[in-house]
Structure 1
Amino acid sequence: MSTLAFWQDFVAERAPGPPYRSRYTVGVGARWFDLPLRPLPDGQHAVASFLANQASFTVLDAIVDEMTRAARAFAPDVIVALPTLGLSVGPGVARGCGHDRFVPLGTSRKFWYDDALSVSLSSITSPGGGKRLYLDPNILDLLRGRRILVVDDVVSTGASLAAALALLDRAGCPAGGGLSVMCQTRRWMDVIGIPVASVFRTPLFAREGEGWRPVDGTMPPDDAGAGAWTVP
């Protein structure tokens, strides 16, 4: 299934289902937004997908506005954004919080980097391994003694966010919260020990006939709706 038409605009009504055929509808503020359903390699399960760098500016701006509202409730001193897709939303959230800049983490090692300020990195969409996550030693002074909020696009297994938290801990600059566009299923809750907020949340789906049905007990908690802080 082509995802070219997804992530470009809001919709007037929710997708029919369950079971859902190819799309699952979530809320972005007061508007509805469709996500494509991607079958996992086992062929029997699927997840809802969002790619920040393929979204229209209209959609991305609305999502960043919702993220900014959640970030302001956390009152961060600095926004740290994860590569790659967290860098699509991190600058906007930092700007919305009144900050002059944000702190990007990276996967490309510059010659002046210190290997002690790096950790291994993997994710559900880039499972090959071999990557490392780096913090530029020249920007440590932006983090020391500050209230840090880590921003990413999707929290799924929690591996990427956990790597960022470990890296910040190693640098002596622990983060107090995480913020993402989407919390996908509950798997991340076993490995993340800080509050995490998101614009929307999605469950795991199991195949049912020609469609997909949400699996009971896999929707992440969000007691107060989109943008609420959630402690695992």
Structure 2
Amino acid sequence: MDKSYPITIAGVKRDLPLCKVSDELYIGAFVIFGDVELTMASASELLKIAPQHDIMITAESKGIPLLYEMARQSGENKYLIARKSPKLYMKNVVSTEVTSITTAKKQMLYIDSDDVALMKGKRVLIIDDVISTGESLRAVEKLVKQAGGIIAGKMAILAEGDAKYRDDIQYLEYLPLFNADGTVKEI
């Protein structure tokens, strides 16, 4: 029998399927791709608590719909994406390495000279869907700093596991980690 975790985020109720990471660890699968209602509601609530910023950035790919919606709702005409691979149109690429709980291997994140120019000396707000280990967040922070940007804040829809104890992030809801039997893991 499949297990799930009920959660309400920005007034929207969802059941997150539990997915095995290891024999001792399961996570609630949170995917906003295709969920317009949840994306719009989460963007609205995050914007209410967002610090002052000049531009926003996220790591490819699950944060993209959220970042787009936040930019749209706030009237910002530009946002940045740290890409998982360099694209042909990217010039003078800057990169950093990242390891994520939901990705089996190390990855790289890339920005180009145009992104660097947009961040240099500017207040940059880092957005993600879920912050768990914080590895993706650290990689984006590193890119922002390499570009000469100033970290205005770090935000996510969910803080997973130990991330709820961080005082350097803002989030809407806590997502616990789970045991194999579907019970919440004590942290």
**Change over 3 Å in CA distance of 1:60–1:187 after alignment to 2:** closer
Q: CA deviation at 1:62?
A: 1.9
2:25 to 29, 32, 45: 45
Q: Which residue of 1 aligns with 2:68?
A: 91
In the TM superposition, what whole-angstrom CA distance separates every residue of 1:153-189 from its partner, at most 9, and x where no partner exists?
1111111111000111112213131111211111586
Aligned pair in 2 of structure 1 residues 36, 70: CA closer, same or farther (>3 Å)? farther
Alignment match, 1:206: 179
Whether contact under 8 Å (1:157, 1:188) holds in the other structure is: no
Query: Quick check: 1:61 aligned with 2:40?
Result: yes
Query: Aligned partners of 2:83, 2:46: CA distance in 1, in Å?
Result: 21
Task: Give the distance between the partners of 1:77 and 1:86, measured in 2 at CA.
Answer: 18
- Partner Cα separation in structure 1 for residue 25 and residue 115 of structure 2: 42
2:139 to 163, 167, 170: 163
Q: Compared with structure 1, are the counterparts of its residues 26 and 134 closer, same or farther at alpha carbon in structure 2 (3 Å cutoff)?
A: same
Q: Which amino acid aligns with 1:126?
A: T
**8 Å contact kept, 1:95–1:101:** no
TM-score scaled by length of structure 2? 0.87
Query: Following TM superposition, where does structure 1 have runs of at least 4 consecutive aligned residues deviating by more than 3 angstroms?
Result: 110-113
Helix, strand or coil at the partner of 1:52:
coil
Can you list the C-alpha shifts for 1:46-86, whole angstroms capped at 9, x where unaligned?
11110121x42223222222222232xx1222111211111
Aligned pairs, how many? Answer: 186
CA distance in 2, matches of 1:144, 1:171: 6
- 1:126-141 aligned at under 5 Å gives the runs 126-129=103-106, 131-141=107-117
Give the counterpart letter for 1:57 in structure 2: V
TM-score w.r.t. length of structure 1: 0.71
Residue 114 of structure 1 is matched in structure 2 by 92
SS at match of 1:92: helix
Query: 2-side partners of 1:29 and 1:150: how far apart?
Result: 19
Counterpart in the other structure of 1:5: none
Unaligned runs of 5+ in 2: none
C-alpha distance in 2, partners of 1:165/1:177? 10
Distance in 1, Cα, partners of 2:25 & 2:99: 21
Shift of 1:127: 2.0
Instruction: Say whether the 8 Å CA contact 1:153–1:181 is kept in structure 2.
Output: yes
What is the identity, as a one-letter code, of the residue corresponding to 1:70?
Answer: I
- Aligned residues of 2:55 and 2:119 also touching (Cα < 8 A): yes
Aligned to 1:227: none
Alignment identity in percent? 24
Query: What do the CA deviations read for 1:129-167 (whole angstroms, capped 9, x no partner)?
Result: 2x3111111132321222211011111111111100011
Cα separation, partners in 2 of 1:187 and 1:100, compared to 1, 3 Å: closer
Q: Per residue, is there more strand in 1 or in 2?
A: 2
Distance 1:188 1:83, change over 3 A: farther
Residue 45 (structure 1) shift: 2.4
Amino acid in the other structure paired with 1:199: L
